[in-house]
Amino acid sequence: MNSDAFSAEHLRQAARSRGLQHLPWPAAAAAARHPGSTVVLPFGSCEQHGPHLPLCTDALFAERLLADVLTALPADAPIWTLPTEQLGFSPEHLGFPGTVSLAAEVLMARLEAIVRSLAEAGFSRLVLFNAHGGQIALLEAAARQCRQRHPGLLLLPWFLWSLEGVMELIPQPERSDGLHAGLVETSLMLHLAPDLVISEEIPAAPDGQLQPPAGHSLEGTRPAVWLAHELSRSGMVGDARGASAELGAALHSRLVAGWCRHFRSLLDSSWPAMPATTRPPGPTARPAVAREEDSCTSLPDRNR
């Protein structure tokens, strides 16, 4: 079998969707061998987003925004996606029916298995395209651990909303206080999937939110680990009353443009230039670590 010839046609056919899962294995092998081969794994969650937004909000945002970004990239760019991770780490939202949260060690073990498979296939980079703020720190810790075990695969844990200029569209105090299902997420959903928004259920006013003392914050430089039911009876942390599809379109435009720039910069580079076999100076013996099945239990305190 001429796997290169066989896979070239399948690579062209699959470029429309970019889905790695749509390729037969010889084409996937050719994709992995391409210099700078990059796989993107969208991360969402299944968690409450107030009485007006669907449980799949984060997963839908990750999937739809990524699709729009990749559509804008050159068709021959060596970048592929995996199916969206629909379940995430959402313990702060447990207690609201419908929320399904994976244990931290389960998510980390799942990522380790994915990383190992991609590394063994020969891919160069894996982007974790995450839309759920409550698992930022967990994915960063998991990525760091996986990179040490599989140094030939560069991991990039990216958060959908961490782009310059996007939140400038949101006025204060919502820019700082709208942590969940507020003006930002409701507006973006009104633009992307308006049929999934129950506008008449948007709370008439923010309810039950706790204000931290001066000099502290729920997130930011001195964050607190919060639980959604402590902040709001409805599950919404913010104020969605001014949400509109027009604001959602503006947010979408800036998100797509910003992530297009970052993905283009990554794909145009040879990063990481260090050979995969390069090891840091020092003893060659690998430091002792916990058994693999027990090694995902130490987590940072950072929360959403």
**Could you report the per-residue pLDDT of 89-112, keeping only the tens digit for each?**
999 999 999 999 999 999 999 999
- Residue of 148, 136, 157 whose CA lies nearest to 299: 136
Which residues are CB-contacts of 278 (< 8 A; sequence separation ≥ 6)?
151
pLDDT reported for residue 21: 96
Model confidence at 281, pLDDT cuts 50, 70, 90, reads: low
Specify whether the CB–CB gap between 170 and 178 falls below 8 A.
yes
Distance CA 178, CA 237 (A): 6
Specify whether the CB–CB gap between 291 and 56 falls below 8 A.
no
Of 99-113, 223-237, 278-292, the one with minimum mean pLDDT is: 278-292
Q: pTM of the full predicted structure?
A: 0.85
Distance CA 59, CA 282 (A): 42
* β-strand partners of 125: 38, 154
**18 located within any domain:** no
Distance CA 161, CA 205 (A): 24
Specify whether the CB–CB gap between 17 and 28 falls below 8 A.
no
Percent of the chain at pLDDT exceeding 90 = 72
pLDDT reported for residue 162: 95
**284 located within any domain:** no
- Residue of 41, 63, 38, 42 whose CA lies nearest to 121: 38
**130 located within any domain:** yes
Which residues are CB-contacts of 21 (< 8 A; sequence separation ≥ 6)?
82, 83
Per residue in 146-203, pLDDT (tens digit) is 999 999 999 999 999 999 999 999 999 899 889 999 999 999 999 999 999 999 999 9
For residue 206, is pLDDT > 60? Answer: yes
Specify whether the CB–CB gap between 256 and 68 falls below 8 A.
yes
Percent of the chain at pLDDT exceeding 70 = 83
**289 located within any domain:** no
pLDDT reported for residue 16: 60
Phi, psi dihedrals of residue 59, rounded to the nearest 5°: -65, -40
For residue 56, is pLDDT > 60? Answer: yes
Q: Is the dihedral of CA 245, 249, 255, 259 positive or negative?
A: positive
Mean pLDDT over the full length of the chain:
87
Structural domain containing residue 236: 31-273
Distance CA 243, CA 192 (A): 13
For residue 51, is pLDDT > 70? Answer: yes
The strand ranges marked E within 49-186 are 79-81, 125-130, 154-159
Locate 171 and state its tokens: 């006025």
Distance CA 176, CA 217 (A): 9
Of 17-31, 58-72, 196-210, the one with minimum mean pLDDT is: 196-210
Specify whether the CB–CB gap between 226 and 218 falls below 8 A.
yes
- Comparison of pLDDT for 292 and 272, the residue scoring more: 272
**269 located within any domain:** yes
Among 69-83, 207-221, 225-239, the range with the most confident prediction by mean pLDDT is 69-83
At position 181, the amino acid (one-letter code) is A
Opening angle at CA 273, ends 270 and 274, nearest 5: 160
pLDDT reported for residue 272: 80
Largest CA distance in the chain: 68
**202 located within any domain:** yes
Total number of domains in the chain: 1
- Residue of 14, 148, 160, 161 whose CA lies nearest to 81: 14
The strand ranges marked E within 106-165 are 125-130, 154-159
Backbone angle region of 215, left / alpha / beta, with phi > 0 → left and psi within -120 to 50 → alpha: left
The CATH number covering residue 239 comes to: 3.40.50.10310
Model confidence at 212, pLDDT cuts 50, 70, 90, reads: confident
Specify whether the CB–CB gap between 298 and 138 falls below 8 A.
no
Specify whether the CB–CB gap between 115 and 155 falls below 8 A.
yes
**298 located within any domain:** no
**11 located within any domain:** no
Model confidence at 2, pLDDT cuts 50, 70, 90, reads: low
